[in-house]
Chain A
Amino acid sequence: MIESELVIELKNRSQHAFSVLVKTYQNMVFNTVLGIVQQFEEAEDVAQEVFIQVYQSIDGFRGDSKLSTWIYRISITKSLDFVRSKKAKKRFSLITNIIGFGDKEPTTMAEFHHPGISLDKKEAAVVLFKAISKLPENQKTAFILIKTEGLNYDNVAQILNISVKAVEGLMHRAKENLRKSLGDYYGNKN
């Protein structure tokens, strides 16, 4: 089924078309979400929300961009929303604990072991993913799309709706911030 046919069928609420959509894009969505969310179970929940959103908003898809670009945008928005709400919850539980109303210990973020990284690089990757999670949202998104999704600067520019030069700038600043963050980590460790 070609893309335009798939979109028409999706707009007609065809269950078969939705099944084709999920089978085609589930790995792409899951990988993107996992890179940003950095938790396996939560990533599955967010990926499901992405497909629900696609199903609900397909009538608004005008075909100005590729379907994959549009799905990437939804995946990024949903993932960043999740991270934001998680940070807010963490902050709230910290405050309630300080005041004395909280009954739970504030949860600390668990180490993220990406299943796609070879065993010899696992330890270094854990430190890197922790540093990635501290990056500003747009730098984090550009870095994840290029490094884990393997997209080129042109694709990322289309997804983020910015120029290629701007993507280059984001990547440069992301690498700089990562170097600084990793430097602090290894400096304190040694």
Chain B
Amino acid sequence: MKDIKKQIEIALASIEHIEKINAPDFFETRLLARMQNELIAEKNKFIQIKKPVWIIASLCILLFMNIYLVGSNKTKIVSKNRHEESATIQSFANDYQLDENTSNY
């Protein structure tokens, strides 16, 4: 037990008076090289987006979206008109008391 306590104290004291170490050699050179590479990579990412293939693809997507939206709007209008038309016929029939029995005459 006493031995363990002694070992603990030795371990805790081992970090006292620790010598500060220098950064690795050519740290700054490597850092600048990395920053330059990351900067170039970032630039290339933007250049990729500016390629004609991407521009044409994005325009095509926009065009298809427009076509789809116009198409779906048209269908909605047609079905709405049909609904209104049938409602008018029904109200006309009701006004003149035209039902299935009348049509038999």
Which residues of A line the B interface, CB within 8 A? 19, 22-23, 26-27, 29-31, 34, 40, 44, 47-48, 51-52, 55, 114-118, 121-122, 124-125, 127-128, 131, 147-150, 175, 178-179, 182-183, 186-187, 190
The answer to whether A124 and B11 touch (CB under 8 A), given A44-B24, A44-B27, A147-B18, is yes
SS class of chain B's interface: helix, strand, loop or mixed? helix
Q: Which residue of chain B has the shortest Cβ distance to A34 in the bound complex? A: B21
CB-defined A-B contacts under 8 Å, sample of 26: A22-B27, A22-B28, A26-B28, A27-B20, A27-B22, A29-B23, A30-B23, A34-B21, A44-B27, A44-B30, A48-B30, A52-B38, A116-B19, A117-B15, A121-B13, A124-B7, A124-B13, A124-B14, A127-B11, A128-B14, A131-B11, A148-B15, A175-B12, A179-B8, A179-B12, A187-B4
Q: How far is the CA of A30 from the CA of B31 in the complex (A)?
A: 13
Which residues of B line the A interface, CB within 8 A? 3-4, 7-8, 10-16, 18-24, 27-28, 30-31, 34-35, 38
Count A-B pairs with CB separation below 8 Å.
Answer: 90
Q: With a 10 A CB-CB cut-off, give which of B19, B27, B38 has the most chain A CB atoms.
A: B27
Which B residues lie within 8 Å of A121 (CB)?
13-14
Q: A22-B28, A44-B30, A47-B23 are in contact. List 19 more A-B contacts (CB 8 A).
A: A26-B28, A27-B22, A30-B23, A31-B21, A44-B23, A47-B27, A48-B27, A52-B34, A116-B21, A117-B18, A117-B19, A121-B13, A124-B7, A124-B10, A124-B11, A125-B14, A147-B15, A147-B18, A148-B15
Cβ-defined contact, B4 with A186, below 8 A: yes
Smallest distance from the beta carbon of A10 to chain B beta carbons, Å?
14
Q: How far is the CA of A121 from the CA of B3 in the complex (A)?
A: 17
Cβ-defined contact, B23 with A190, below 8 A: no
Q: With a 10 A CB-CB cut-off, give which of A23, A44, A115, A121 has the most chain B CB atoms.
A: A121
Q: Which residue of chain B has the shortest Cβ distance to A48 in the bound complex? A: B31
Interchain CB contact (< 8 A) of B28 among A23, A128, A175: A23
